[in-house]
Amino acid sequence: MHGFRSITTSTFDALVPTLLGAALLVSCSLLAWHTLAGGQFEVHVVGELLLVAVLSLEGVIAVRHLRQARLDSLHQVLMAARRDYGSAEMMLALVTLWRFRQQHGDQFVQVYLDTWRRDEERIALLPPSEQVAAVRGTLHFHRRLVKEFYNSLAGLYELHVLPKEMLCTYWSEAELRIIPEILIPLETAVAHGLRAERDVDGWLQRLRTLYDDACVGKSLAA
């Protein structure tokens, strides 16, 4: 469905300026023919043709401005996403999660849940002034930081703000592999205890779609 919407949107974006350009060309051609044909000069016909030509030209200009505004907005969104992804906090969180996954192998989900529980119990015993700093150092905080980033990225992709071509250009398969290998298993274990199952499956599917469209589709094309 996402691919169909993307194709439909791209086709519509390409069709609108083509139709406007065709309307401008036809109206100018009819205006020239009516003026040079040597027949009776009808002011209302000329006026209508001029109106169509002017409106078509304004439409073409508006579409160009809209495209430029969209490109500028996309650039800002992309730069913000890359800035967040390249931050020191994100780098530490990614390294921490991958190291944890490698250390605990197939048992990493259960070990994560146990670690989360122990950290909550430990932090609850600290003075309130020390709890925020302690939370920032937990594995649970690192997971949430990475999860929120990729969840936002998936949302931008789902809303067509971030095109597939740009996603594949700026995020490699190696960078996105954390979604199926770490995030989805952990998010499933954590979220099923916090939300209704249908809600969990809904936003986890968004992450799966992001990874599949960017990486699986690219692998098949290669």
Residue 106 has a pLDDT of 92
pLDDT, tens digit, for every residue of 145-192? 999 999 888 888 888 888 888 888 888 888 899 999 999 999 888 876
End-to-end CA distance of the chain: 23
pLDDT above 90: residue 196: no
- pLDDT bucket at 221, cuts 50 / 70 / 90: very low
Using one digit for the tens of pLDDT, what is the confidence trace for 27-49?
A: 566 556 555 555 554 545 545 55
CA–CA dist 71, 64 (Å, integer): 11
Choice among 8-17, 76-85, 89-98 with the minimum mean pLDDT: 8-17
Question: By mean pLDDT, which of 68-72, 122-126, 217-221 is the weakest?
Answer: 217-221
Residue reference for tokens 């740009």: 166
**Token pair for 118:** 């122990």
Tell me how long the chain is.
Answer: 222
Contacts 24+ apart (CB under 8 A), 175-179: 176/210, 176/211, 176/214, 176/215, 177/211, 177/215, 178/94, 178/97, 178/98, 178/146, 178/150, 179/150, 179/207, 179/208, 179/210, 179/211
User: Maximum CA pair distance of the chain?
Assistant: 96
Q: How many CB atoms lie within 10 A of CB 128?
A: 6
Residue 80 per-residue DSSP state: H
State yes or no: pLDDT of 91 exceeds 90: yes
Q: What is the mean pLDDT of residues 21-32?
A: 58
> Would you state the pLDDT for residue 4?
40
Per the rule left: phi > 0, alpha: psi between -120 and 50, beta: everything else, 160 is left
Position 214 pLDDT exceeds 70: yes
